């Protein structure tokens, strides 16, 4: 007798991706400056830990909020009791105002059209449930965040069809790539329900340009499909060009609910406080849509992953402090720019270049010249050496479905300056060894570990080679 469901026993979660396997190796041997200085440095985690002091300073100055008090009186019982899943009005108002501020107040958002979710993961999956049936497809430009293979597909049954982008034009989306993806979906007997983009891009660290956004609007208008714009990194843009939201493009083209309801109702924005405020543990995400039916359905679904009332209360006060949010956004962007410069310049000094980027918590790093051959197998071999010998956890491009071997995502905002410098120093020594012809030397224990990885990843390597 089958005791567990097919969903519980299936192997479609994506946990066997090299993106997640790198995390597993880090957790077995995490770097610590004092306790484990030879451990693996975590550079595969897109967390923003650069501005915690600003948040902590605000909390110290507002002890009543942190203590769940209003006008000096405890509201603990009020917050501890059941709250409607529509969310606290004060928090929704503060959140949409913060979203507008990040976008230079060029667009505004109606709090009645926002749905609160337990992080962006929940927001994206909820949209899949609202917009697609099992077996329907969404088009995603490559390279894309590895977690989408889990978030969009695992429970919903939706499929992903890649929009193949490449380095020849810095991985920008083209009309031909969009149409080729549609043809691929047709060959797979999949009905395309929409396009999902991350803007700014994870893993590229770049913002979509105006031409790309207009192309996407025209494309979904022609095909009568949806567009999901995941904008969770919108507040991390630290250099020009500035961030342009898809909502700004709609308004500039006078696409409104009155003039073009068929288009306006098919554009949806995902947001989160995980990256801009560095609060992934608070589990605060949101869906913004002008489609009343989508908002109503997503609100009902949000009851399976609510944001706690305590979190909403605290953050409504923090985000409602306009003086603080303006200072935070500006200072956080300065710190991200400085840390980004540290990584890029450090890598350049050892002969490794990065894609020119202006946002995010990571760099898209070009190590194609370090490959033994122009294959994904060679990429995996290099990545395993970096994990085991250099002891850095970075994410290989193949885990992001990149079409070209040799690209890696390297995160810079989740570790200290000293740790980042150590990581660059380790990589410098490794590159020097490769250049001197001694890079192949390793211990018997390392060979045994690598054999295990080859066994676990061999099927995925073959899949990438066939693409």
Catalytic residues: 145, 230, 232, 275
Contact 146, 186 (CB under 8 A): no
Peptide bond into 241 cis (omega under 30): yes
Distance CA 62, CA 82 (A): 25
Give, rounded to a whole angstrom, the gap between the first and last alpha carbons of the chain: 39
Q: What are phi and psi for residue 162, nearest 5 degrees?
A: -70, 140
Of 182, 212, 184, give the one whose Cα is nearest residue 198.
Answer: 212
135: phi > 0 → left, psi -120 to 50 → alpha, else beta; which? left
Judge if the upstream peptide bond of residue 23 is cis by omega within 30 degrees of 0: no
Q: Decide: 22 and 16 in contact? Cβ < 8 Å.
A: no
Q: Are 206 and 143 in contact (CB under 8 A)?
A: no
Helix (H, G, I), strand (E, B) or coil at 144: coil
List Cβ neighbours of 272 (8 Å cut-off, separation of 6 or more).
119, 120, 123, 232, 284, 285, 286
- CA angle 238/244/245 to nearest 5° reads 120
* Dihedral sign, Cα of residue 44, residue 47, residue 48, residue 52: negative
Q: Residue 4: how many CB atoms within 10 A of its CB?
A: 8
Classify burial at 33, counting beta carbons within 10 Å of its beta carbon; exposed 0-12, middle 13-18, buried 19 or more.
exposed
Residue 366 and residue 375: Cα distance in Å, rounded?
14
CA atoms within 13 A on the CB side of 340: 27
Tokens found for residue 70:
């209003």
Q: What is the SS3 assignment for 271?
A: strand
SS3 154: coil
């Amino acid at each position: 007798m089958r005791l567990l469901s097919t969903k519980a026993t299936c192997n479609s979660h994506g946990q066997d991706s090299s993106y997640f396997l790198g995390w597993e190796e880090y957790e077995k041997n995490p770097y610590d400056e004092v306790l484990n200085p030879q451990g693996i440095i975590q550079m595969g985690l897109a967390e923003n830990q650069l501005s915690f002091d600003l948040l902590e300073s605000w909390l110290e100055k507002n002890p009543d909020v942190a203590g769940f008090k209003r006008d000096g009186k405890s509201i603990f019982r009020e917050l501890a009791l059941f709250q409607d899943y529509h969310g606290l009005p004060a928090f929704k108002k503060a959140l949409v105002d913060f979203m507008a501020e990040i976008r230079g107040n060029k667009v505004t958002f109606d709090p009645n059209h926002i749905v609160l979710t337990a992080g962006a993961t929940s927001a994206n999956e909820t949209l899949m449930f609202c917009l697609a049936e099992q077996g329907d497809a969404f088009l995603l430009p490559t390279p894309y965040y590895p977690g989408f293979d889990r978030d969009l597909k695992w429970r919903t049954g939706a499929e992903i069809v890649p929009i193949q982008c490449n380095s020849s034009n810095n991985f920008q989306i083209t009309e031909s790539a969009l149409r080729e993806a549609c043809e691929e979906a047709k060959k797979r007997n999949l009905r395309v329900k929409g396009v999902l983009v991350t803007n700014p891009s994870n893993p590229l660290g770049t913002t979509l340009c105006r031409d790309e956004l207009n192309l996407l609007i025209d494309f979904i208008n022609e095909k009568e499909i949806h567009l999901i714009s995941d904008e969770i990194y919108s507040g991390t843009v630290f250099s020009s060009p500035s961030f342009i939201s898809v909502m700004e493009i709609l308004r500039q083209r006078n696409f409104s609910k009155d003039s073009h309801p068929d288009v306006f109702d098919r554009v949806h924005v995902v947001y989160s406080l995980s990256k801009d405020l560095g609060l992934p543990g608070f589990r605060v995400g949101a869906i913004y849509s002008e489609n009343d039916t989508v908002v109503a359905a997503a609100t009902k679904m949000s009851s399976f992953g609510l944001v706690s009332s305590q979190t909403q209360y605290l953050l409504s006060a923090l985000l409602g402090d306009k003086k603080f949010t303006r200072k935070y956004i500006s200072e956080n962007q300065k710190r991200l720019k400085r840390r980004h410069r540290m990584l890029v310049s450090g890598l350049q000094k050892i002969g490794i270049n990065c894609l020119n980027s202006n946002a995010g918590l990571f760099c898209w790093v070009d190590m194609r010249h370090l490959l033994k051959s122009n294959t994904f197998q060679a990429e995996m071999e290099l990545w395993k050496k970096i994990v085991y010998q250099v002891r850095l956890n970075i994410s290989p491009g193949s885990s992001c479905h990149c079409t070209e071997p040799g690209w890696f995502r390297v995160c810079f905002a989740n570790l200290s300056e000293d740790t980042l410098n150590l990581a660059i120093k380790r990589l410098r020594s490794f590159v020097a060894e490769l250049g001197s012809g001694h890079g192949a030397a390793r211990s018997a224990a390392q060979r045994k570990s690598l054999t295990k990885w080859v066994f676990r990843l061999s099927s995925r390597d073959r899949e990438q080679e066939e693409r």
